[in-house]
Amino acid sequence: MSDRKKVTLPALFKKVADGVPITWLTCYDYPTAYLQEEAGVDMILVGDSLAMTMLGYDSTLPATMDDMVRHTAAVRRGSPNAWLVGDMPYMTYQPSVETAIRNAGRFMAECGCDAVKLEGGAEMADRIAGIARAGIPVIGHLGLTPQSVSALGGFKLQGKGAAQAKKIVDDAKALEEAGAFCILLELVPDRVCRIVMERAGHCIIMSLGSGPHAHGQLLIYHDAFALYPKFKPRMAKVFADAGAVIRQGLAGYVKEVTERTFPQPENWFGMPDEEYAELLKLLK
Ligand code: KIV
């Protein structure tokens, strides 16, 4: 396990003040969290995208609070020091402020999270305010908000037109004023992201496919390492083709077992001759 220090909110704001970009990846399991911890990733998001990346659904909507708690706690065990963000799944905050606070509290108490994230603009400002008042750091999510994919007409760029872009800028202000310490802009034009940045007060602005001007970058782990079989979004860079490495390994496994070249003596355990002779006697 790495010996780095726990990432804190002041440490994140120091990066912003020093002009050092913040790194943020999604993660859903213990071994991957361990690797991200070793790599020194600043923030980890256990996204409700786990419904797609880990469970094979076509949208994020089927993720439940219990799914999220189970996976987020595993990620915390793998990465004790990253700033861990629990992503509030569909209908765990939309119904009421109280629902939002209770579910945000589960992420903190049951998973050891540092913060939670929820989707939506000014209409979610009271949820953000309630969670922040409960002492829980909260992140807003604007632009392409996958829980509203049906209303948005698909996984596509948001804020291309001036009117829609103005709404994103206004929503960002509303979320910041409600108490969000950070706002994620997903798939909005780089110029819109820059305007949000310029107007932000004490609020960290993160980009997912929204250009280079933000305080840091988020990527979906499965996109960045070619592990999602259905599609690769244009905005995602593949940093390493882990899928290809695993595919090669699987082909080797199937071949060696089929050809009886695996296992070899170093892969099994023998039994002393006298114990074996005794066993045969006992079995008579
Ligand atoms: O669930 C998730 O991974 C997310 C990202 C798309 C930002 O919310």
- Give the distance (Å) from ligand 1 centre to CA of residue 47: 5
Q: Measuring from atom 4 of ligand 1, which residue has the nearest CA? A: 47
Mean pLDDT over 75-104 rounds to 98
Contact indicator for 183, 203 with CB cutoff of 8 Å: yes
> Percent of the chain, pLDDT > 90?
95
Q: Is the CB of 60 under 6 A from ligand 1?
A: yes
- pTM beyond 0.85: yes
Please state, rounded to an integer, the average pLDDT across all residues of the chain.
Answer: 97
Residue spans of beta strands (DSSP E) within 120-187: 138-143, 182-186
pLDDT digits (tens, 9 = 90+) for 176-234: 999 999 999 999 999 999 999 999 999 999 999 999 999 999 999 999 999 998 988 88
Query: Ligand 1: which of 32, 43, 48 to mutate, judged by most atoms within 8 Å of the beta carbon?
Result: 48
- Give the distance (Å) from ligand 1 centre to CA of residue 49: 5
Residues 6+ apart with CB under 8 A from 128: 118, 138, 140, 175, 178, 179, 180
What does the pLDDT read at residue 271?
A: 97
Q: Is the CB of 26 under 6 A from ligand 1?
A: yes
Q: Which atom in ligand 1 lies closest to the alpha carbon of residue 49?
A: 1
What does the pLDDT read at residue 154?
A: 87
Residue spans of beta strands (DSSP E) within 40-95: 43-46, 83-87
**110 is known as an active-site residue:** no
